[in-house]
Amino acid sequence: MKWVSYRSSDGSERCGLVRGAKILGHAAGTTLLDVLRSGEGLEAAAALVTSNPAEIVDLAWADVLAPIPTPPSIRDFAAFERHVRNAGAVAGGDGTISSVWYEEPVFYFSNPAAIRGPRDDIPVPAVTKAWDYEVEVAAVIADDCSDLDPATAESHIAGYLVYCDWSARDVSARERGFPFGPSKSKDTATSLGPYLVTPDELEPYRSGNGYALTMNGYVNGELYGGGNWGEIHWSFGEMLAHASRDTTLRAGDIISSGAVGTGCIFELSGHRDYLRPGDTVKVEVERLGAVEARMVDKGEKLVPEMLITRGITITAPPAAVFEVIADPRRHGEFDGSGTVADTIAGPGRLTSGSEFTVSMVLFDVPYQVTNTVVEYEENRRIAWAHPGQHRWRYELEEVADGTLVTETCDFTTSPWGERVAGSAWGRRDAEAIEKTLLRLKALVERG
């Protein structure tokens, strides 16, 4: 099973079961943490929402939150030997790992109030010049438990999720001068999501102390580094047993692995620059999905942009540009959002009132969207409405150098426009449009 937490159109936070491209929603106000704490388990909750969902929401339009937006506690381990060795060498050592690390897994407590969703922007602290990500995987505790046996501890895991620990490396270097472990260097943000994936979905991939699943980090679309969950030295059963000794783990607690080898910029020091506002980061774990975040200035304030408009000049006549835009089967060729796959139904050329269905991919889940052309003027304007009722519009104007193409995402036509514009997806549309226009320009000018 795959579960998500999301904000419904009524403003309530609730959880839901993912079925294909849909979310089968639980009752308003019922969170994943509520479900875990009830003691009834995810299986019972899945049976309830499958037979009688409180609402059914398109995953594509959902305002997806962290699966556990405010966990009771977070323990972040250092379970990957390659990361520990690499980090030690960069910090000034010879890569030798303390014998203590091999005797028992070690962890620090992180900040439950700093959780971010899988598409939330991340503010870069003003005090750091070395802002970094970490590619991690985490387990969510299913029930209250203590003094667990490593051999059976994994039975207390409700599911796994992608975990990105944002870190100020220069602050961390100062903190290492006193043996208390990291504090402010890890205090600003931790991204979780997009799904809580139950262990049975991963069982076919079991390998070593983990699973044969890739874990990678990307910056501005470029693969920086990563590895495989199967490399992990300490199993989650061993980490849970250690964490639960002489104390109680609570339902909803997060237990994270620490970074996989080369799963952070710190390990690549001298080869990669640290993060700056404007950079985008993708932390991906196979079968679990990805966290995708844009770095922003700490003081940046979000004002929902209801009309997102960008323009570009293409060295071609308007008719040549319009011919490409009006062919729905070519939209995947110039899409800059990364979500459009193929047009699977509709006419070969769009005109007023045309409907066309596009296959898309979001959170690694394929789905379909049927659009309707609602504005049309040959070689000058075309716009189609999505199911959410907002519009994508292209306007063409002949200029001296060719054609000025203006693309607009218009949220003013949707009853949910302000909410969508203010969501993580809405905030990305400007970037998607800029990429789309550049690709359209290259496509048309190539002929």
Q: What is the pLDDT along the chain (447 residues), one digit of tens a residue?
A: 999 999 987 888 999 999 988 999 999 999 999 999 998 899 999 999 999 999 998 887 788 999 999 999 999 999 999 999 999 999 888 889 999 999 999 999 999 999 999 999 999 999 999 999 999 999 999 999 999 999 999 999 999 999 999 999 999 988 877 777 788 888 889 999 999 999 999 999 999 999 999 999 999 999 999 999 999 999 999 999 999 999 999 999 999 999 999 999 999 988 899 999 999 999 999 999 999 999 999 876 666 778 999 999 999 999 999 999 999 999 999 998 877 878 888 999 999 999 999 887 766 667 788 999 999 999 999 999 987 788 999 999 999 999 999 999 998 988 777 777 766 566 677 888 999 999 999 999 998
Q: Which CATH class is domain 307-446?
A: alpha beta
Which tokens belong to 78?
């250092």
Residues of the chain with CATH 3.30.530.20: 307-446
Task: Report how far residue 207's alpha carbon sits from residue 369's, in angstroms, rounded to the nearest whole number.
Answer: 38
Task: Report how far residue 287's alpha carbon sits from residue 162's, in angstroms, rounded to the nearest whole number.
Answer: 10
Q: Which CATH class is domain 74-297?
A: alpha beta
Q: What's the number of CA atoms in the CB half-sphere (13 Å) around residue 1?
A: 19
Give 311's contacts (C-beta < 8 A, 6+ positions apart).
404, 405, 406, 407, 437
Closest to 151 (Cα-Cα) out of 229, 241, 80: 241
172-177 CB contacts, 8 Å cutoff, 24+ apart: 173/91, 176/91
Residue 374's pLDDT is what? 97
Residue 366's pLDDT is what? 73
Given a contact cutoff of 8 angstroms between Cβ atoms, the answer to whether 417 and 306 are in contact is yes
| pTM greater than 0.85 | no
Burial class (CB in 10 A: 0-12, 13-18, 19+), 292: buried
Task: Report how far residue 111's alpha carbon sits from residue 183's, in angstroms, rounded to the nearest whole number.
Answer: 9
Phi-psi region of 365 (alpha: psi -120 to 50; beta: other; left: phi over 0): beta
Degrees to nearest 5, angle at CA 217 with 161 and 203: 35
Task: Provide the angle, in degrees to the nearest 10, between the axes of the packed helices 318-325 and 424-446.
Answer: 130
Degrees to nearest 5, angle at CA 132 with 287 and 79: 55
The two beta strands, 167-168 and 190-197, are unpaired
For the chain, helix (H) and strand (E) counts, in that order, are 10, 30
Degrees to nearest 5, angle at CA 124 with 118 and 126: 160
Between the two ends of the chain, the Cα-to-Cα distance in Å is: 46
Given a contact cutoff of 8 angstroms between Cβ atoms, the answer to whether 438 and 432 are in contact is no
At residue 430, φ and ψ (nearest 5 deg) are: -60, -45
Given a contact cutoff of 8 angstroms between Cβ atoms, the answer to whether 361 and 340 are in contact is no
Task: Report how far residue 149's alpha carbon sits from residue 245's, in angstroms, rounded to the nearest whole number.
Answer: 9
Residue 425's pLDDT is what? 61
Residue 337's pLDDT is what? 82
Task: Report how far residue 150's alpha carbon sits from residue 209's, in angstroms, rounded to the nearest whole number.
Answer: 11
